Homo-oligomer: A and B are copies of this chain.
Amino acid sequence: MIKPLDNHVVLKVEKQNQEEKQVGGIYLAGAKEEKPNTAEVLAVGPGRVLENGNRVAPEVEVGQKVLFDKYAGSEVELDNQKYLVVRDTDLIAVID
C-alpha cells in the first residue's frame, strides 16, 4: 500500500496523449497546446503545512476523476502497475 506524504496525491492515469510520446524535445510550459490529462485519485496525503503550522487538506478524495497538469509529477511503479504522483497544487478540476 502507498501512503502519500505532505500534499502528494497518487493518480491512476486513464488515457495519455499518444502523439505526445514521440516528442523528445523541450516543451514550453503554459503553452495552450498542453492539454491536461484525466486520472482517478487512488490515495491522498494529509496536505501541505502552512506557516501557522496547520495543514491544508487536499480538496480531492479517493475515487474522484480529476484533471491534472500533464507535465507534473513522477511516475511510480508498484507491483507492476504504473502510477503518477503529483502534488495537489498540480490538480486542476474534479470531473463528475
- A residues sitting closer than 8 Å to B (CB atoms) are 1-6, 8, 10, 26, 28, 30-36, 43, 45-46, 49-54, 56, 59-60, 66-67, 69, 71-78, 84-85, 88-89, 91-96
Q: How many copies does the complex hold?
A: 7
Docked Cα-Cα span, A6 to B87, in Å, equals: 13
A49–B53 CB distance below 8 A: no
Docked Cα-Cα span, A40 to B53, in Å, equals: 27
Q: Which residues of B contact A49 (CB under 8 A)?
A: 50, 56
Q: Which residues of B contact A88 (CB under 8 A)?
A: 5
A4–B51 CB distance below 8 A: no
Q: Which residues of B contact A95 (CB under 8 A)?
A: 1-3, 78
